[in-house]
Each structure stands twice: as structure tokens, then as C-alpha cells.
Amino acid sequence: METLIIMLIGILVAVATYLILSRNIIRIILGTAVFSHAVHLLILTMGDLKQGNVPLLKEADAPYADALPQALILTAIVISFAVTAFILVLAYRTYQDVGTDDLDKLRGAKDE
């Protein structure tokens, strides 16, 4: 199972990297979203899969699945959501002010 998931993570990472390297800002944002999916899966996989029960003390019996990666991922999900929302609005505002969503045209001032 772990091997299979890691292969999947590899595919997700490759796709995300390709998307991030493009010029269109929406593709880049989607790329970061896919990246965070891949990373969440990676963290979970590192804590071993399907070993033990749901980490709810009163509901299930020991052994429990590793709860620490889960807690980390929960934080990561929320943060990546915040980042995605922020860049989306940034893209919106940039397009409103500058009129393009092509990053090659957003190179900044010449004389910096």
C-alpha cells in the first residue's frame, strides 16, 4: 500500500511541478494546490498506513494509528487553504490593475 501511495505522490508532484512552471497564473495556483495534496499524503504515509485503530481513545482500542502526522496535516490543510485563497485574490487584483495573467508580462519595473 505504501509503495503504491508513494508512486501516486510522485505523479502528483511531477504534475504540480509542471503546472507551477507554466506562465498562466491560474495553472500556477492549481499547481500549488496539487502540491499540497501530495505533501499531505506524503506526511501521512511516513507515519505508516493502516496500522492500528482510529486515534480516538474512548471509541477504539489500542493500538492506535499515529496521531502526530494527522495533527500536522490538519494544520497544513488549513494553511494551504489560506495560501490558495490569498494567491487567488492576488491574481484577481493583479488582473484588475495590470490587465494580464501572464507572468512573463509581469516582470516588474525595469530600473530596480
Partner 1 sequence: MFSVNLVILIPFIVAALLPFTYRRFKKTHLGWFVLIVPIALFVILARLIPSVASGKTYVHTYEWIPTLDFNFTTYLDGLSMIFALLITGVGSLVILYSIFYLSSKESLQHFYCYLLLFMGAMLGVVFSDNLMVLYVFWELTSVSSFLLIAFWNHRQASRFGAQKAMLITVSGGIAMLVGFIMLHTMTGSFSIREIISSMSEFSDHALFMPAMILVLLGAFTKSAQFPFHIWLPDAMEAPTPVSAYLHSATMVKAGIYLVARFTPVFGADEVWFWVVSVVGMITLFWGSFNAVRQTDLKALLAFSTISQLGLIMSLLGLGSIALQFGYSADSVLYTQATFAALFHLINHSTFKGALFMVVGILDHELGTRDVRRLGGLMTFMPFTFTVALIGSLSMAGLPPFNGFLSKEMFFAATVHIMEVDIFSLPSLGIIFPVVAWIASVFTFVYCAVIVFKAFLGNPQPEKLDKPIHEAPIGMLISPMILATLVVGIFFFPNLLGQYILQPAMSSVYPTFGEAVDLTPKVSAWHGVNPELLMTIGVIIVGAILFKFLKFWKPIYGLFSSRFTFNALYSNLLASSVSKSNTITKFYMNGLLRHYLIYIFVFFIVTVGGYLFYSRAFSFDISTNASFRVYEVCLVAIMAVAAMSMLFARSRMTATLLNGVLGYSIAIFFVIFRAPDLALTQLVVESVTTALFLLAFSHLPDWEKEKLPKGTKVVNGIISIAVGLVVVLVGLSVVDFNQFEPISSYFEDAYELAGGANIVNAILGDFRGFDTMLEVVVLFIAGLGVYSMIKLRTKKEDENIED
Instruction: Name which of residues 5 to 64 contact partner 1 (CB under 8 A).
Output: 5-15, 17-24, 26-30, 33-34, 37-38, 40-42, 44-59, 62, 64
Instruction: Give the type of residue at 36.
Output: S
Give Cβ neighbours of residue 12 (< 8 Å, ≥ 6 apart). 34, 35, 37, 38, 41
> Does residue 98 belong to the site contacting partner 1 (CB under 8 A)?
no
Joined grid coordinates for residue 61: 482500542
Closest contact distance (angstroms) between CB of 71 and partner 1 is: 4
> Does residue 96 belong to the site contacting partner 1 (CB under 8 A)?
yes
> Does residue 68 belong to the site contacting partner 1 (CB under 8 A)?
yes
> Does residue 2 belong to the site contacting partner 1 (CB under 8 A)?
yes
Joined grid coordinates for residue 29: 495556483
Three-state secondary-structure class, residue 85: helix
> Does residue 111 belong to the site contacting partner 1 (CB under 8 A)?
no
Joined grid coordinates for residue 2: 505504501
